[in-house]
Amino acid sequence: MTEEELRLQKRLADLKQRSEQSGIYTYTGFLTLAEQEVFYGSFPDLDESEYKLWGGFEEAERKALRFGSYEKLCYDEDFPICCIEITPVNKKFADKLSHRDILGAIMNLGIERSLIGDIIVKEDLYFVICLTRISEFISGSLLKIKHTVVKCRVTESMPESVLPKIQVMNPVVNSLRADGIISKVFHISRNENENMFAKGLVFVNGREISKGSSLLKEGDTVSVRGCGKFRFAGTSHVTGKGNYSIKVEKFV
């Protein structure tokens, strides 16, 4: 475990202890998939009722962690998370903004990355999940992204219409290697696949993997920059020829 992961592990243990001793809910900022893995590895015996991970919507990648439960604390509490809707003031002269453009503009306001969750780009609408305590600051300060003048509106949650949809796929592969499954899901050639691994564009549970021979396990979330993201939902059955019929949940 790296020094950074050890620091995170200690911080999580402190938050858990404070919740238990003070009788309150305690929260982290938004955790990456890799940081969520550190949490699961640090508290393997923690009952699921004693914590919750939430990122503003079910399929969110970045999620905040809450310690505490209604059974122990005798009260409930919503996550301090909201959504900022960003729209160009003049769509006719607006740039086509990317996830990176929006994140960069917010970071330039002096906002820490852990205070920002997922960012959804939907044509000329942009949605940013963030902690409630910094939402008004962002909304009032974010006036321009690249050359585009924008306006912001704080909402409680992201509209249902813009949430990622899941496409269920059942490809047949000859092994559970990451490269073979990625090729099937995104319909890319072997050479393209090799280049993606070589360029560091493939991530499993938030961690870059450089070997296409890495095996996927049920529940793994795979992100390939420039292609998309999917969740490996396991093997359905083995065919008569020894191949694997698998289930994949692709985010579209």
User: Tokens in use for 43?
Assistant: 């508290």
Look at residue 182 in the predicted model and tell me its pLDDT: 97
DSSP state of 146: T
pLDDT tens digits for range 14-31: 999 999 999 999 999 999
Look at residue 158 in the predicted model and tell me its pLDDT: 87
State how far the Cα of 9 lies from the Cα of 124, in Å rounded to an integer: 39
90 and 39 housed in the same domain: no
Q: The domain spanning residue 104 has which CATH number?
A: 3.30.70.330
126 and 52 housed in the same domain: no
Provide mean pLDDT across the span 89-100.
Answer: 92
Q: What residue ranges in 108-165 does DSSP mark as E strands?
A: 116-122, 125-131, 144-145, 148-155
Q: What is the CA radius of gyration of the chain?
A: 20
158 and 171 housed in the same domain: no
State how far the Cα of 115 lies from the Cα of 18, in Å rounded to an integer: 21
pLDDT tens digits for range 103-148: 999 999 999 999 999 999 988 899 999 999 999 999 999 999 999 9
Q: Which bin fits 219, alpha (ψ -120 to 50), beta or left (φ > 0)?
A: left
- The total number of structural domains in the chain stands at 3
Q: The domain spanning residue 47 has which CATH number?
A: 3.30.1370
Q: Of the segments 143-152, 162-171, 200-209, 232-241, which one has the largest average pLDDT value? A: 143-152
Q: At what angle do helices 190-198 and 178-186 cross, to 10 degrees?
A: 120
Last residue of a domain, one of 73, 103, 127: 73
Query: 116 lies in which domain range?
Result: 81-162
Provide mean pLDDT across the span 150-154.
Answer: 97
Residue 206 has pLDDT above 80, yes or no: no
pLDDT tens digits for range 27-47: 999 999 889 989 999 999 999
Q: Give the full edge-to-edge strand order of the sheet including 125-131.
A: 116-122, 125-131, 81-88, 148-155, 144-145
User: Tokens in use for 99?
Assistant: 């996830």
Look at residue 33 in the predicted model and tell me its pLDDT: 85
Provide mean pLDDT across the span 222-235.
Answer: 92
State how far the Cα of 79 lies from the Cα of 199, in Å rounded to an integer: 37
Q: What is the pTM of this model?
A: 0.79
Look at residue 226 in the predicted model and tell me its pLDDT: 85
